[in-house]
A = this chain, B = another copy of it.
């Protein structure tokens, strides 16, 4: 498969997510982007675990980082005998696979798959480094390829010169929207809610659209109703961390309140992503609370007196009556008809 990141903005070029080269993995530090374009360089896979834990990369970034981490682990043990190499890689797969507790199942699924390919390579006298690197690259290409279909279906819905409100950073889908808009010669006007506390909307999403030449405006999260009521917005769209088969979706905190406000003034909300066929309904969605410290500071600057508390529910769940459509790799579905998606067959997404 040819490289699927062509025409993507800086943040989404494979080399700028996490990249193995000559005994090192470099990871773009998303905590300080775009104020600084800096990479964290790791020459031991434990440093990758630390980088993931410290949020150097987030969202889908860690999927690539743990895969590239398996290539690094193979480099670290390349001079050992085969048995020792397999032991070393097995340990690395377990540790990288558990870098962050909440998404451990996905990380471990990735490192286990990579490990199997590495063991196979070693047994065939081939490089375990290349086996991990190639597997990670395949996975990236597969994901980008699939998300491009989603992006194409989404942009099909937007008349030329539409004005789009986004929430958080949807990662690959942002690049896919950009490519689909360029391919169909559509000009879009973009509004990004800044998405406190991590400011993904301001720092990441707006950077992608700005770099790609779109008219890009950032608003604070308390201005969403203003632009919606003002008639500035034609469509509201976001990705989803989970799309349950009953049409409930989980996404970054704040997604639902924008959906409520959009719905109130007749602005349709389009959710993008691949339905989670293993999640029957909203009860299968696990709510996650993160370190409230992040709410009490910005880029490490504390904003409150000692003793003030905070909460940080990282997601909220939006119910189907607020959702105009779920846009997938197989077309546009009503949130009430995701069973139709199921019938079209699944997709190996990661």
Contacts and interface: CB of A to CB of B under 8 A. Distances in A.
Interface of A: 34-35, 193-197, 199, 202-203, 206-207, 210-211, 215-227, 253-254, 256-257, 260-261, 264, 295-296, 298-299, 301-305, 307-311, 313, 316
A304 B34 contact: yes
Contact of A253 (B215, B222, B305): B222
Contacts of A194: 196, 295, 303
Given A35-B301, A194-B196, A298-B298, A221 B222 contact: yes
Among A195, A254, A308, the most chain B Cβ lie within 10 Å of the Cβ of: A308
Contact of A202 (B224, B257, B261, B303): B303
Given A226-B316, A253-B226, A257-B261, A305 B215 contact: no
Contacts of A215: 309
Contact of A257 (B196, B224, B307): B224
Nearest to A309: B217
How many copies of this protein are present in the complex?
2
Contacts of A256: 225-226
Contacts of A226: 253, 256-257, 313, 316
A295 B201 CA distance: 12
B223 A313 contact: yes
Question: What does DSSP make chain A's interface, helix, strand, loop or mixed?
Answer: mixed
A202 B309 contact: no
A310 B217 contact: yes
Query: Lowest 8 A-B CB distances belong to which pairs?
Result: A222-B254, A225-B257, A196-B220, A221-B222, A221-B221, A217-B309, A202-B303, A207-B305
A15 to B, nearest CB: 19
A317 to B, nearest CB: 10
B257 A309 contact: no
B296 A218 contact: yes
Contacts of A216: 307-309
Nearest to A310: B218
A232 to B, nearest CB: 9
A181 to B, nearest CB: 17
Nearest to A294: B220
